[in-house]
Amino acid sequence: MKRILALLMPVIVLAVLVAGGFFLMQMLKPQPEKAEEQARGLSVFAEAAELTDLELTVSAQGEVQPQRQIIVAPQISGRISFVSPDFIDGGFIREGQVLVRLEAEDYRLAIVRAQSGVASAEQRLAREEAEAELAIQDLEELGITNTSPLARREPQLAEARASLDSAKAQLADAQLALNRTAVTAPFSGRVRERNADLGQFVSPGQALGTIFATDVVEVSLPLSDEEMGRVGLPLAFAETKSTQGPDVIFKANVAGQPRQWNGRIVRTSAAISPQTRLITAIAELRDPYGTGSDNGVPMAPGLFVNAEVEGEQVQNVVRVPRSALRGVDEIYIGDGPAGKLEIREVELVFSDETGAYVSSGIEPGELAIVSPIQAAFDGMNIQVVERMPDGELISRTPRKIDAEPESADGAALASGDVEGASQ
């Protein structure tokens, strides 16, 4: 037994020494510093606000209409004996050009009869004048001074003169009817449609076709009161040499190609539409088939066009993405270094697909949050990732450790945030 104890004693002592040394080393080992990572906020995308000048525009739609369009109709009856080859659907016509001519024989005969009536009336007037002179001489020779107009043949003379005037009027009427056998174009333009042809008998006022002038076309643009103010138009506007209306750009697809034409608003309606409560602005394009065309493509009547009306210019406004606008007048601002969200009220000037333009409430360079956020509040923890114009994503909120991050670790965490945002 003593021999066994003598053999185990060194092993037991060695084990006790090793255990005691290990325990002592653990007791004397310095405690590691604990690095507590702050709670990470919601990652959001943001874009920088920029200072710019805003040119207000108003978009509207309307149908192109000719300024002058008439129905061609004869003033007399007759059979059509001639139709101009230009008087066809889509034909070009000139001012004063004969479009349709009616048979004129009956009207020439009427002129002959009227000329005969004039000759008879002239002969009767001459006879009455001679008889009136003889009657006055006879009365003077007899010494009769107190005579009646009938004795001096004055009523007979007046009747003869009236008969001559009537005969001349009938001659002028016959001549006018003969002239009206030729139906002419009152202006240069194009034929929209033709409803008559050679040999057809027509009556006064019967429609022979429709023509329109090609010097000016118009587009009626319905605008709201707010849009009228945006382009600087009063209710009863009429363009003058000193006061011109705003420019308008018309756009439409013609034959599968986008086309545009440049016109101008020349007047507005005098009253507000009771049905739509809108005001009609009349935009005008001159010479749509010539100098006003787009490389020879006219803005033809009947074409439905989109119109952009140029409005007033606003200097020094701040533009943010349209998605950054919350409700009517709120924007979420992301403080990148602090990782905090701020809710601000702004004064909105204008908003369209290009962005929201505000005059106050945000400064150029500040980050406007574009990500959707539910239950947002001031001071909310966020991770701001700025989206650059070229699409690059840059984290603006480094992850903090003990509120004093090292630059290397912070840069690495920022890089990790960007990768996560990109995913």
What are 166-178's pLDDT values in tens digits? 999 999 999 999 9
Which position has the higher pLDDT, 24 or 172?
A: 172
For the cut 70, the answer to whether the pLDDT of residue 83 exceeds it is yes
Average pLDDT over residues 269-284: 90
Q: What is the 3-state secondary structure (H, E, C) of the chain?
A: CHHHHHHHHHHHHHHHHHHHHHHHHHHHCCCCCCCCECCCCEEEEEEECEEEEEEEEEEEEEEEEECCEEEECCCCCEEEEEECCCCCCCCEECCCCEEEEECCHHHHHHHHHHHHHHHHHHHHHHHHHHHHHHHHHHHHHHCCCCCCCCCCCHHHHHHHHHHHHHHHHHHHHHHHHHHCCEEECCCCEEEEEECCCCCCEECCCCCCEEEEECCEEEEEEEECHHHHHHHCCCCCCECCCCCCCCEEEEEEEECCEEEEEEEEEEEECCCCCCCCCCEEEEEEEECCCCCCCECCECCCCCCEEEEEEEEEEEEEEEEECHHHEECCCEEEEEECCCCEEEEEECEEEEEECCEEEEEECCCCCCEEECCCCCCCCCCCEEEEEEECCCCCEEECCCCCECCCCCHHHHHHHHHHHHHHHHC
Please tell me the least confidently modeled range out of 30-34, 183-187, 257-261. Answer: 30-34
User: Which pLDDT value is given to residue 321?
Assistant: 92
Maximum mean pLDDT: which of 11-20, 173-182, 227-236: 173-182
User: Which pLDDT value is given to residue 128?
Assistant: 84
Which position has the higher pLDDT, 228 or 34?
A: 228
Average pLDDT over residues 92-110: 94
The per-residue pLDDT for range 194-207, each reduced to its tens digit, is: 998 999 999 999 99
**Whole-structure pTM value:** 0.65
The per-residue pLDDT for range 345-355, each reduced to its tens digit, is: 999 888 888 88
The per-residue pLDDT for range 236-271, each reduced to its tens digit, is: 888 888 888 899 999 999 988 999 999 999 999 888
